[in-house]
Chains A and B, each alone.
Chain A
Amino acid sequence: MRKPVKTPEQQFLFDLQQAEKGRFQAVKWLGVLIALAIVAQALGLATVFAELVLEGRFPLEAAALAGGAFVLKAVLQFCREQICATASRNIRFSLRQRLIDHLTFLGPKRLELDEDAGLSTRVYEQVDALDDYFSRYVPQVFLVTFVPLTILFSVLPVSWIAFAIFAFTAPLVVFFMILVGHKAANANRKQFQVLSLLSNQFMDLNQGLAELKRLEQTDSARERLALTASEYQRTTMGVLRLAFLSTATLELFSSVAIAMVALYLGLGLLEQLPWQVGVAPVSLLAAFYLLLLAPEFYLPLRQLGNDYHAKQKAEAAATQIAEVLALTHADSCDLAATNDPAASAAQALPLIEFKALHWSNGGRVRLANLSAQINPRDRVWLRGHSGVGKSSLMAILLGFEQHFQGQFLIEGQPLRPTEMAAWRRRLAWLPQTPEWVQGTIRQNLELGVGHCTDDALRNALIKAQCWDFVGSLRFGWDTAISEAGTGLSGGQMQRLSIARALLSQADIWLLDEPCSSLDSETAEQVLNTLDEASYGKTVLIISHDTHPVIWANQQWLMTEEGVHVEAQTPITYV
């Protein structure tokens, strides 16, 4: 048999399947036993029936065979289901853990893929969407070839005609299934697309709901929704009618084959077959045996038809999951250059030094030619238009990106993985939108710092000029803040992150456009607070030209060609 070329999704799913190879192997063997039990049950029942009808006697041995096979089959199916489910669970839960670890490893880079909400869908829903594939589809693929073959060979010694009916219809079934199934697959995919289109439309209108209310157009929006939904129903049904033909074909073959076998056998028993009147081609026992096996012959195929959508769902999910795992930091590591002999005179060395730092990733230059140094207590204002590499520099400083060319030295030493934790503990990080977890203000301030005394907390809040508004809240610093914030303005949230930075005792502050989402007046006030709070620390602040950082003593202008360093006379109020 020619192996079809695997798509990347199929390869991904196959690799996952390999992790549970043992279980799937066991499932195969159980499938073999089940196929044998089916044949044994048919044989036993047929004997019982034939003797009952012809002689009025009940053969106990045959009945025991049939009963035993029936029980065995049920128990085997139970075991098989359990093993499949366990395999699927193991695959899914370890994959999820892998995804979370990988996302952590990616750090800020994960946002290149999707927002956190979208990533959470991939980690949870999409991973669970693989369940049906591993617990039903994969085991069924084996059964679908093995069971019909077993039945075909057990029919062969009994009746040539029945064998011919089965052998002739089986390829037809497969042929039609592929033919119609292909259409069904396309239809399914299209349906997924249209469904997400519908959701988008709903979310779009929902997003503008306030505006629609203002314009008194909520009813027309409802009409729009109703219209597209009806349209969707109409077109989808058109496609589905065709898609269901695949199931109908299977049903038809299965039904017709049973009917054909029954009629052939019945007429044969009556010696009324047109081509051999007066001769009975089969005995009653054989007739029952064939009749009982006929539906079982098509059952796995029909089951596979039902589970076919599981495969599609899984492949769609696999694309999204593989995308996460495929995203890594570029690995053009240039470790040879990091051995720097001049590491003796620690005092004279700058705190942070970049030597011809260059980073390109996926053919795109992320950061070009940076040579500069920051001494302790320097406050650096980094400017430059968007996309020039300011955030990439932050990622390098935070230790999330190490595959760059050139050198990044901390007190004359390159950053080693073993020193990563110690280095990161010296950092405070203030991004554009402050990072908050669900909990009280206090819990958020203490996030990753550990318990602080009330005094320390108060000092930090006062210094960050949060004391007034935190005090005016009903529960003070025990007020809970949620995802959306609690009536606190952007400026107030940003001030709270300044307080958090103060609490952490970090001596190096990295700020990535802390004022960009604030209006100019608030931004100015926050910058003033920062001036006061960050005095005596080493600061690297990215800020847009509209929010000049006048208290910085260095100004770096970043362009595609490189960085232009310029001293600046700080204007500070401290």
Chain B
Amino acid sequence: MSKRKPPLLTFKSLLLENPFGLLVATLIGIVASLAAVALLGISGWFLSAAGLAAASGAALSFNYFTPGALVRLMAILRTAGRYGEQVFSHDHLLGLLRSLRLWIWDQRVKTPLNSVYRQTRGDLLQRLVGDLDMIIKWPLAVIMPWLYGLLGCLALLALASFVEWQLAAPVLVYSVLQLGLVLWLANRKALPSVYRMQALSVHRRSRFMSVFSALITLTIRGHWQHYSDRLAVLDTRQKTLQQGLQRVISMQKLISQGLSGALIVAVLALCLVWTEQGVVLAAEVEATWLVALVLAVLGVNELMQPLANSVLSQGQSKVGLKRLNQLAVNQPTDTLEFGPLPSAETLELRKFVGFHDHLSLLHLPKLSLQIQAGQRLRLTGPSGVGKSTCLAALAGDLPYRGEVLLNGHCVSLTDHPKWRSQIAYLAQQSVIFQQSLASNLRLGNRQASDEQLWEILQLLGLKEWAEALPNGLDTLLGAQGRDISGGQARRICLARVMLRGAQVMILDEPFDGLDSTSIQRICDALERYTFRPKLLIYVSHIDTPLDLQSRHLELI
């Protein structure tokens, strides 16, 4: 996947995502649609020609093999075509789903870390499931029906011109009205409602969440009724909009039917002459072909019906695209802009202070220090003084104020990929992925062998536990470590960090929830050459043997 997506999703990019797949699906669909129209048309012509031949006594010389074969061919084409269309278009749809999900992932990765979790889970899930669902259906629900309608109209036009050139005019008017004007009008009428409905439903949900999160307070204060009434008002508004929308769609269907009826009347009127004996067929028109034409109009009328629903799909996918594009991130700085980074022999901080947002900046202490290869540093300080924030900023997760000098060169660490590859950072929160134990550990080092994994598990006192697991290293761990204890999750994260074998290690409370034997073992490991980092900066509220070799710095 070397091809990067354009920063914004558009309808065009959706079409160009896998043009070949879409083309195949569309072509097969076209064949099926035309075959459906032709089946009726040819059958009608065949019947009337046969009837005429029988009446005029020419039955024996009538070639009934060709039309008979054609009728059968159309029947087969229609069946196979419908099947093929569904298979190919769904294959295309699933491919689109795949690439759109990856697109979202890319956007998430590009989002700066301090704003990644501003997106609530529910909201992201809604975009990932609901919006994607609407968007991937767009080619199927909007483009394809229109194309089939267009080609149906073109075929009708050809047939009409063949029967009698004057008939081309009403067919042309019909096509323009059906595919252009009616659709345009319906779009104009319906789209604002679709947008309003979408906006309203977002509003309604946040209201629901907000009101229900304070349910008990509101109930015991006796004000619940008032708030829940307002929720009901939003719902009623939604109902009215839905009603209006439904009326537009049904109306469009009715008008479309009416137009087809009008076309048949127009065609007949052009081919008929009023005489004293009643209404008769104009001499130059062949009755058999006229019958075929009228039947074909009825066939095209069926093709036009799905167009009415396409208005709704169009609006919904437009909103979906817009919402997905809100996730898009224009990468502020390209990877190339980060300069080369010297290896960390010395690290100096001047008036360094990390922050989540500018509001919290005032209360945090500024840090100035210097640390050299081989040194260890322990940060201490009371709770809430900003130790974790400081470590996170140092690891490049959060923005900071002040200067950082690496080997005497002034550098910027935030989101710097090369800095990331030099360090191993154990964050405050333990993150366990819904993968096997081995995959969770190998996130630290993809090349790690099973022996290495067992070694580190032994070191952290997890070996007995891991051996008792039903599938050993291949046991699937639950989402966010739901079925392992906090202490185990912590140690798995620590194992991951240690496996990285990085030169700089930044550890936030590595010993939390560990017994003294484990702590002793970890301290030994951090001193031994295998896992010994050049620089080690850590925060711990527990005193450990590691402190003997460390400088202490207290944040106040």
Contact = CB atoms under 8 A, between A and B. Distances in A.
B247 A82 contact: yes
B253 A81 contact: yes
Contact of B102 (A225, A431, A519): A225
Nearest to A421: B222
Given A125-B130, A256-B75, A424 B215 contact: no
Contact of A56 (B75, B118, B280): B280
Nearest to A131: B242
Interface in B348-388: 356-357, 359-360, 362, 382-384
Interface stretch (A112-120, A146-154, A340-348, A366-374): A112-120
A229 B97 contact: yes
A203 B231 CA distance: 29
Nearest to B423: A214
A70 B261 contact: yes
B128 A199 contact: yes
Interface stretch (A23-31, A233-241, A320-328, A406-414): A233-241
Given A58-B280, A71-B261, A259 B253 contact: no
A93 B235 contact: yes
Contact of A240 (B87, B214, B277, B356): B87
B47 A288 contact: yes
B79 A487 contact: no
B157 to A, nearest CB: 22
A516 B128 CA distance: 33
Interface in A393-424: 398-399, 421, 424
A483 interface: yes
B221 A447 contact: yes
A255 B79 CA distance: 7
A284 B48 contact: yes
Contacts of B48: 49, 53, 284, 288
Nearest to B359: A487
A448 B223 contact: yes
Contacts, number: 370
Contacts of A248: 79-80, 82-83, 86
Given A82-B250, A117-B122, A437-B211, A472 B220 contact: no
A190 interface: no
Contacts of A267: 50, 64, 68
Given A116-B213, A263-B72, A284-B47, A74 B98 contact: no
A256 to B, nearest CB: 6
B542 interface: no
A85 B408 CA distance: 73
B232 A97 contact: yes
A435 B417 contact: no
Contact of A521 (B122, B210, B239, B382): B382
B91 A58 contact: no
B98 A226 contact: yes
Interface in A42-99: 45, 49-50, 52-54, 56-60, 63, 67, 70-71, 73-75, 77-78, 81-82, 85-86, 89, 93, 96-97
Contact of A271 (B54, B68, B74): B54
B421 A74 contact: no
Given A199-B129, A248-B82, A262 B205 contact: no
| Residue in A206, A209, A245, A438 with the greatest tally of chain B CB atoms within 10 Å | A206
A211 interface: yes
Interface string A467-489: 00000111000000001100101
A205 B54 CA distance: 74
A46 B125 CA distance: 55
A79 to B, nearest CB: 9
A244 B431 CA distance: 42
Interface stretch (B285-293, B313-321, B336-344, B452-460): B285-293
- Give the interface size bracket for A toward B: 35 or more
Contacts of B185: none
A253 to B, nearest CB: 9
B290 to A, nearest CB: 6
A259 B39 contact: yes
B501 interface: no
Nearest to A272: B64
Contacts of A262: 43, 46-47, 71
Nearest to B242: A89
B449 interface: no
B116 interface: yes
B208 A58 contact: no
Main secondary structure on chain B at its contact with chain A?
helix
Nearest to B129: A199
B209 A107 contact: no
A100 B362 CA distance: 44
Interface in B282-331: 287-288, 290-291, 294
B533 to A, nearest CB: 15
| Residue in B48, B87, B261, B291 with the greatest tally of chain A CB atoms within 10 Å | B48
Interface stretch (B106-114, B163-171, B464-472, B547-555): B106-114
A236 B235 contact: no
Interface stretch (A11-19, A215-223, A557-565): A215-223
A236 B87 CA distance: 11
A573 B375 CA distance: 46
A210 B427 contact: yes
Contact of B54 (A269, A437, A521): A269
Contacts of A211: 427, 431, 443, 493
Given A89-B239, A232-B94, A56 B72 contact: no
A74 B254 contact: yes
B433 interface: yes
Interface in A273-290: 280, 284, 287-288
A208 to B, nearest CB: 4
Given A204-B479, A271-B54, A240 B90 contact: yes
A116 B211 CA distance: 10
B44 interface: yes
Contact of B219 (A226, A258, A266, A424): A424
B544 interface: no
Contacts of A473: 359
Contact of B272 (A58, A232, A504): A58
B47 A63 contact: no
A108 to B, nearest CB: 6
A201 interface: yes
A225 B101 contact: yes
Contacts of A204: 433-434, 479-480
A476 to B, nearest CB: 13
B173 interface: no
Given A49-B48, A222-B102, A214 B395 contact: yes
A237 B253 contact: no
Contact of B52 (A54, A74, A101, A203): A54
A123 interface: yes
B495 to A, nearest CB: 12
Given A58-B268, A222-B105, A203 B125 contact: yes
B500 interface: yes
B118 to A, nearest CB: 7
B361 to A, nearest CB: 10
Contacts of A175: none
Nearest to B444: A215
A270 interface: yes
Given A259-B74, A272-B59, A435-B217, A78 B254 contact: yes
Given A124-B205, A208-B431, A421-B222, A244 B53 contact: no
A50 B421 contact: no
A93 to B, nearest CB: 5
12 contacts: A117-B120, A117-B209, A202-B128, A203-B125, A226-B102, A247-B83, A266-B64, A271-B54, A398-B219, A425-B221, A429-B217, A521-B384
Which 7 A-B pairs have CB atoms at the shortest separation, nearest pair first? Answer: A448-B221, A284-B51, A255-B75, A229-B98, A262-B43, A74-B257, A424-B220
Given A236-B94, A425-B222, A429-B216, 11 more contacts: A53-B51, A60-B278, A89-B242, A117-B121, A244-B83, A259-B72, A262-B43, A265-B47, A270-B59, A399-B220, A521-B384
